[in-house]
A and B are shown apart, each in its own frame.
Chain A
Amino acid sequence: MATIVCEALTKRYGAVTALDALDLTIAHGEFMVLLGPSGCGKTTTLNLIAGLEEASEGRLLFDGRDVTWLPPHRREVAMVFQSYALYPNKTVFENIAFPLRLRRTPRAGIERAVRAAAEQLEIAHLLDRRPHQLSGGQRQRVALGRAIVRNPAAFLMDEPLSNLDAALRLSMRSLIKRLHHQLRATFVYVTHDQAEAMTLADRIAVMRGGLIQQLDTPEGIYERPANLFVAGFLGSPPINLIEGRIEDGAFRRAELRLPAPRAEPGREVVLGLRPEDVEAPAPHLVPLAGRVELVSPLGSDTYAEVSGPAGTSLTLRVPKGWRVREGEGIEVGVDPARLHLFDRATERRIA
Chain B
Amino acid sequence: MSGAEDRRAPPPGRAAARRPVAPRLGRGLLLAAFSLLFVLYVAGPVAWLVSSSLQTEAQATAVPPNWLPPEPTLANFEAIFRAGERVVTYETRRQGDPATGGFLPTGAQNLLPSLRNSLVVGLWVAALNLLLSLTAAYAIAVIDFRGRRATLYTVLATRVIPDIALVVPLFLVIRALGLINSLAALVVTYLAVTVPFTIFILISYFEGIPRDLYRAARVDGCGHWGALRQVYLPLSLPALVAALTFAFLTSWNEFVFALVLTQNVEAQTLPIVISGFVMDFTTSFSFVNAAGVIAIVPPVLLAVLFQRYIVSGLTAGAVKG
Contacts and interface: CB of A to CB of B under 8 A. Distances in A.
B215 A52 contact: yes
A51 B268 CA distance: 52
A71 B223 contact: yes
A261 to B, nearest CB: 53
Contact of A87 (B213, B218, B226): B213
Contacts of A75: 219
Contact of B230 (A77, A87, A146): A87
Contacts of A72: 218-219
A306 B63 CA distance: 99
Contacts of B222: 73, 102
Interface string A143-169: 000100000000010000000000000
Interface stretch (A19-27, A78-86, A228-236, A335-343): A78-86
B85 to A, nearest CB: 52
A146 B222 CA distance: 14
Contact of B219 (A78, A82, A83, A86): A78
Contacts of A99: 220-221
Given A50-B219, A73-B219, A85 B213 contact: yes
B221 A103 contact: yes
A73 B215 CA distance: 10
A303 interface: no
A84 B223 CA distance: 20
Q: For this complex, into which size category does the number of interface residues on chain A fall?
A: 20 to 34
Interface string A59-93: 00000000000011101011101111111110000
Contact of B221 (A73, A82, A86): A73
A50 B218 CA distance: 9
A87 B231 CA distance: 7
B71 interface: no
Contacts of B226: 73, 102
A52 B222 CA distance: 12
A222 interface: no
Interface string B214-252: 011111111100100011001100000000000000000
B212 interface: yes
A78 B235 CA distance: 23
Contacts of B216: 79, 81, 85-87, 146
Contact of A81 (B212, B230, B231): B212
Nearest to A13: B144
B235 A89 contact: yes
Interface in A4-55: 47, 50-52
B16 to A, nearest CB: 38
B210 interface: yes
Interface string B38-77: 0000000000000000000000000000000000000000
Contacts of B223: 71, 73
A78 B216 CA distance: 8
B210 A79 contact: no
A146 B210 CA distance: 18
Interface of B: 210, 212-213, 215-223, 226, 230-231, 234-235
Given A79-B219, A86-B216, 4 more contacts: A71-B218, A79-B216, A102-B226, A146-B216
Interface of A: 47, 50-52, 71-73, 75, 77-79, 81-89, 98-99, 102-103, 146, 156
20 contacts: A51-B218, A71-B218, A75-B219, A77-B219, A78-B219, A81-B212, A84-B212, A85-B215, A85-B216, A86-B216, A87-B213, A87-B217, A87-B230, A88-B235, A89-B234, A89-B235, A99-B220, A99-B221, A102-B221, A146-B220
